[in-house]
A and B are shown apart, each in its own frame.
Chain A
Amino acid sequence: MVLAERKIAYCTNYMDNRMTQHDIDVSNLPTIAFGSRSPLWWAEMLTIMMLSAVVATLIATYLYLRIGFSSWPGPDAVPPSLFLPTICFVVLLIVVAPIYSASKAAQRGERQRSTHGLAITFLLGITFLVLRFSAFNELGVRWYSGVYGSLVWVIMGFHTILTIAATVWTGILLGITLGQKDRERQQMGIQINALYWGFLALSWIPFYVLLFVYPAALMV
């Protein structure tokens, strides 16, 4: 089984360097890429898959424990008010717009608009968190008062931690793009931040329905 001695003995101390017709020249390939061409985009999508696995686990836990109860949310639990959670929900849906436009602007290279988009997203993120904390206080149940209370606090806590992370990340991006001249890598970062905010908004839909709309409908 003699290995045909190919023209290129492929090893590190390879010396002669004649071009072959199969060689590929990549010097003209870009060093910035948006969307699925960049590994950072793939890393973010995989992270979103991970977090959606946690979301699915929490939904499954909620439904599994709900089945065990004849009256939901629990014999003495007061039905949750829909006012603040709905506002939070709307604000979260609104946040997706500026960050999406910032991401599109970043891809087109318009630094000005992408920075504006980031700033608006950051402010909306802060307002969302303020609303969310007031919603926490307004909840009729505590985390130790029965299963519904535990589930509400665990699920809202999980989502709030993710939103705090998103807001801080947007803040960091904003800080870097305002201060630094080299912003190509941050432009890629903006698009990935947009993906993350999109996931946050989408994941809040099932939670919003399960935690607030469904019990309120049952108790009406």
Chain B
Amino acid sequence: MTTASPQTIADGRERDRLILQQAWAPAAGPLRWFKEVNAQVIGRRYIITALIFFVLGGIEALLIRIQLARPENRFLNPDLYDQIFTLHGSTMMFLFAVPVMQGLGLYFVPLLLGARNVALPRLSAFSYYLYLCGGLFLYIGLLSNTGPDAGWFAYTPLSGPQFSSGIRLDFWTQMIICTNISALAVAVVIIVTALKQKPPGMSLNRMPVFVWAMTIQSFMVLFAMPVVISAATMLFLDRSVGTNIFNSAEGGDPLLWQHLFWFFGHPDVYIVFIPPMGMAAEIISTFCGRPVVGYQAIVLAEISTGFLSFGLWVHHMFATGLPQLGTALFTAASMMIAIPTGMQIFCFIATFWTGRPRLDVPLLWISGFIATFIIGGFTGVMLASVPFDVQLHDTFFVVGHLHYVLIGATVFTVMGALYYWFPKISGRMLNSTLGVWSFWLSFIGFNLTFLPMHLLGLRGMPRRIYTYQPGLGWSNLNLLITVGAFILATGFFLTLLNMIKARANGKEAGMNPWKAKSLEWKTASPPPSYTFLDVPVLPSGGPSEDEEPEGVVRGFDASRRELLMTKVVDASPDYRHIVPGPSIWPFLLGLTSALTFAGIAFDVRWAAIGAVLCIIMLIGWFWPNGKSLTARTTWTTE
């Protein structure tokens, strides 16, 4: 495209842009798809892959609902039903919820900070390939009848060597380890980017709320995912080489698995809840024309939610006969966490009252989120009290609660974020009438599906049953729920249709379609590979973070991929970090690691062979490319 070489352009800015374009050019050559390390490209792939898994999870949900529509239905046999409901849980939690948040984080955290790329680009590329291979292998397992069948929670001893024969759960444990390592890798990338790459002037107390939310989520991932990885490894060792950690006959304890799994499980559901709060804050502040009320309150609330969420996992185990005093402590903790969450909702509603809300499609989804999430929050507080929970634990009441919180909070907000950020990602506007139709269909379908589930739970219908008998008062409610599920599916499908249609011939979006003030709207959409021409300098001292940038950072060596690293607290420029360009090694390491995990599921000895392969890939990854860091070249931006 650039016929004129940089030297001939007289004007400084245009020359800078050409040099930056060459320095940050996307990968070239036959394997360029696998050599990409640009944060926007990897983030986009994360979001698209997560949405594909969301569709797969949705199909599984519809299959479950068809099987439960009538009593003693023979649509699915029990074995297939167990595999499908296990994969519905695993896909939605491990392959959709966490990755879509991290995908949006990888895409927008650098943009919100005015940075050219994340601090560790190859690590983010590696994590994507690990996630992609993990998800693919899990679904290859389903197609070859080795799908997991003990629930996404896989309680021992049912998931143990004696009661879950074959390699079904070995495969599942390895894929859980695989996808959670990729989540850990992205968490490291996001924390380092958020802490070290704030533009000068954006001190810690003026960082955008979404970046705060992603940072807090990443710290939670850092402490929660290792627990499930070690628990899954211990279960795998129990199943494959015969260790006795969960074998109650030899002194192990099946309850230990529940403690370990839920110690990860509950922070995990907050991991997929905090970024939506950040997105909601961004969307609300844009569509109300003012910064969100109580910026400090929201950030502190999210931090306290992050800490508190590690202290209430036993409310999943109230019915296992634990001592009464212990469960009372966890009742208190489970109820206390509703205070910071409630505070954030009040801040959002206060912003509606103080600003000028424009009821556009994204804000419609966020209002849907607030309305449904409050019901989920209330049923959660109900289930926190022991005498109530032991009656309704593991019934459809809990299924209703968790979907109100997960779909109500996470999916509605992600839909709102998709409508809000789709113009920036693709450069095209989504059709708003189709968006409104999609919202109302989803909202009505959602409530039609999950509100009656609370009644089903009260009428004594347990969870995870592949069928039920007539004459117990459940048949008609289940039929109504199945109808509601199809309406919800059409609602989400309309958004999918909207996105596919808009990519081809949506309205041109331009730089800032919503007239928002945050930094990501200050560059073209879709942003070029070098994102911003200059790293902005923000006026420090102003209370809100929506001040216009008042200067630029100069003196970069534009011909190299340089990122400005700033101090953590006051964001003063500190160091220019040279990041490597496109490289094939992340893909190779991701593939070999995923193959190693899959191989281990078949035979533990694959670990040795896989380790050697991974070391070879790591050597290739870290082998220096010979370019000196300190040498100065001629093209410095003026």
Contacts and interface: CB of A to CB of B under 8 A. Distances in A.
B227 interface: yes
Contact of B565 (A22, A33, A58, A176): A33
Interface centre among B223, B532, B627, B629 (most CB of A within 10 A): B629
A4 B539 CA distance: 15
A27 B628 contact: no
Interface stretch (B64-72, B130-138, B228-236, B268-276): B228-236
Given A27-B556, A47-B188, 4 more contacts: A14-B533, A31-B562, A65-B253, A186-B624
Interface string A36-62: 111110110011011101100110010
Contacts of B259: 64
8 contacts: A3-B548, A24-B537, A43-B120, A50-B223, A58-B230, A144-B243, A150-B252, A172-B619
Interface residues of B, number: 84
A42 B562 contact: no
The 7 A-B pairs at the shortest CB distance, nearest first, are namely A27-B555, A22-B551, A150-B243, A53-B226, A39-B119, A144-B242, A33-B575
A12 interface: yes
Contacts of B187: 46
A187 to B, nearest CB: 10
A22 B522 CA distance: 18
Interface in B461-509: none
Nearest to B539: A22
A53 B233 CA distance: 14
Contacts of A1: 289
Interface stretch (A96-104, A129-137, A177-185): A177-185
A10 B245 contact: no
B615 A168 contact: yes
B256 interface: yes
Contacts of B164: none
Contacts of B244: 144, 146-147, 149-150
B533 A54 contact: no
Interface string B611-638: 1000100110011101111100000101
B237 interface: yes
Given A26-B576, A38-B565, A50-B226, A143 B11 contact: no
A20 to B, nearest CB: 5
Contacts of B237: 143, 150, 154
Contact of B554 (A27, A176, A180): A27
A42 B630 contact: no
Interface stretch (B190-198, B332-340, B376-384): B190-198
B524 interface: yes
A17 to B, nearest CB: 5
A1 B286 CA distance: 13
Interface string A135-179: 000000001101101110110001000001000100010001000
B528 interface: yes
Contacts of B551: 8, 20-24
Contacts of A53: 222-223, 226-227
A24 B565 contact: no
Contacts, number: 212
Interface string B550-566: 11111111000010110
Contact of A39 (B196, B556, B615): B196
Nearest to B226: A53
A123 interface: no
A100 B250 CA distance: 44
Nearest to A184: B629
Contacts of B556: 26-27
B610 interface: no
Contacts of B17: 12
Contacts of B622: 172, 176, 189
B553 A23 contact: yes
B523 A11 contact: yes
A176 B623 contact: yes
Contact of B618 (A29, A153, A172): A172
Interface of B: 11-14, 17, 119-120, 123, 184, 187-188, 191-192, 195-196, 200, 222-223, 225-227, 229-231, 233-234, 237, 241-245, 250-253, 256, 259-260, 289, 511, 522-524, 528, 532-533, 536-537, 539, 548-557, 562, 564-565, 568, 573-578, 611, 615, 618-619, 622-624, 626-630, 636, 638
Interface residues of A, number: 68
A185 B243 contact: no
Contacts of A21: 551
Nearest to A32: B629
A214 interface: no
Interface in A62-86: 64-65, 68-69, 74
B576 to A, nearest CB: 5
Contacts of A57: 226-227, 230-231, 260
Interface string A5-19: 010101110110100
A46 B253 contact: no
Interface centre among B227, B243, B618 (most CB of A within 10 A): B243
Contacts of B524: 11-12
A1 B326 CA distance: 56
Given A17-B13, A38-B565, A61-B260, A46 B191 contact: yes
A65 B251 contact: yes
Contacts of A183: 624
A172 B13 CA distance: 42
A26 B553 CA distance: 7
Contacts of A50: 184, 188, 222-223, 225-226
Nearest to B120: A43
A145 B557 CA distance: 62
A29 B563 CA distance: 11
B630 A184 contact: yes
Contacts of A61: 230, 234, 245, 256, 260
A39 B184 CA distance: 16
B199 to A, nearest CB: 10
A22 B490 CA distance: 52
A95 B14 CA distance: 54
Given A64-B256, A176-B624, A180-B624, A42 B555 contact: no
B288 to A, nearest CB: 12
Contacts of A31: 562, 575-578, 629-630
A172 B120 CA distance: 20
Contacts of B196: 39, 42
A8 B549 contact: yes
Contacts of B533: 11-12, 14
A43 B123 contact: yes
Contact of A147 (B13, B195, B245): B245
Contact of A30 (B575, B624, B628): B575
B630 A24 contact: no
Contacts of B564: 26, 29
A3 B576 CA distance: 33
A12 B577 contact: no
